[in-house]
Amino acid sequence: MGDTMSFERMIRILRMLEWLKERGQTEYWRWLSANILKPLAESFRLSEKAITTTTSAAATSAPLAP
């Protein structure tokens, strides 16, 4: 990529870092959100719903013996 031995090379590195930041915020974030975070959140909501349903069904089905 480059080194920091000259001003021009430092500017090249900074430009590449800026490009990488912009790419991460635009392209990668959209992909990460759509393919990882949203499905993960949906599966978490479904598992929370299943736990709540199972817990409430167990609480109303039979009392615990002393």
pLDDT confidence band for 57 (50 / 70 / 90): low
Place of tokens 């000259």: 6
- Number of independent structural domains in the chain: 1
Place of tokens 């709540």: 52
Place of tokens 């900074």: 14
Residue 64 domain-assigned?
no
- The answer to whether 13 and 2 are in contact (CB under 8 A) is yes
Residue 17 domain-assigned?
yes
Residue 54 has pLDDT above 80, yes or no: no
Residue 35 has pLDDT above 90, yes or no: yes
> For residue 40, what are the domain limits?
1-53
Is-above-0.75 flag for pTM? no
Residue 65 domain-assigned?
no
Q: What is the mean pLDDT of residues 11-27?
A: 93
Residue 60 domain-assigned?
no
Q: What percent of the chain has pLDDT over 90?
A: 33
